[in-house]
Structure formats: structure tokens, C-alpha cells
Amino acid sequence: MGKIEMDKVTVNLLELSDPQKTEFLEHVSAYLQQRVKEERYYKSISLPSLEKDNRGLKFNLTAKGQHKMSGLKNTIEKIKNLEAEKKNLLLEIEELKKMADAKATALESEIAALREEVKSLKILMGQEQPSVNQLKVG
């Protein structure tokens, strides 16, 4: 599974051009989609079933093989730690989704305000009411 790495960055969307804003939101979207895909994969692993299988193995091991149990216990402990990390990542995903939605809403508002400003400036300059096609930005 290809993994997209993203560093935590602060981006002032007002300083970006429209293509840069689009590219940024596409990267955020791809990152969030990857995180959701990973979340679904990890949800498919059942900790209780692994623990149940571990108990069954314990009764079938010979005395010589008992030392392998410590490895299984370590594996189960790692799985429990990963489950805790998964919960934290799910919270982070939700936070990132909210941030992306908020940024998209802010961009929409900013674009609407800019269109109104263009319309007002054209009226002030004595031009007729601009058509809808003239107001659309890239």
C-alpha cells in the first residue's frame, strides 16, 4: 500500500493562488483518503480473535515451546498499543477533515467576496452591470 507522508504545516490560504489552493486541497484530500483506507484495514483485524487463538495455542504447546508464548504475549501487547494509536489517529483524521471543510468554506466565502468587490468596482468605474460569466474567476 503506497503511503503518502505529510508534515504538519500551517498554510495561509489567502497567500496562495487559486491553482495552489486547488493543489493543496487535493493533497489534503488524498492524505485523508489514505488515512481512511488504513483505518478500514486496521478495523478488519480483531484483537479478541487473536487473543482467543493465543489461548488455544497455549494449551497445545509442548514444554519446550512454552518460551514462544512470550513472543505471542509481546505481539498481543503491540496490538493493544497499536489499537490505542489507531484511536488517536482516528481523532486526528476527524480533526483534519473538519479543518479541510473549514478551509474550503473560507475559500468559498473569500471568492464570493472578491466577486462582489469586482462587481462593485466595475459599477463605480461606470461600466454596466457585469454578466455572470464575467465574474467567474479561473
Return the sign of the alpha-carbon dihedral for residues 22, 108, 103, 101.
negative
Q: What is the pLDDT of residues 82-98, one digit of tens each?
A: 999 999 999 999 999 99
Q: What is the pLDDT of residues 57-113, one digit of tens each?
A: 555 555 456 566 677 888 888 899 999 999 999 999 999 999 999 999 999 999 999
123/95 Cα distance (integer angstroms)? 42
What cell numbers appear for 113 in the block?
A: 467576496
Mean pLDDT value of segment 21-50: 80
Contacting residues for 104 by C-beta, under 8 A, at least 6 apart: 25
Burial 65-98 (b: 16+ CB within 10 A, else e): eeeeeeebeeeeeebeeeeeeeeeeeeebeeeee
Domain locations along the chain? 16-111
- pLDDT surpasses 70 at 37: yes
Read off the pTM. 0.38
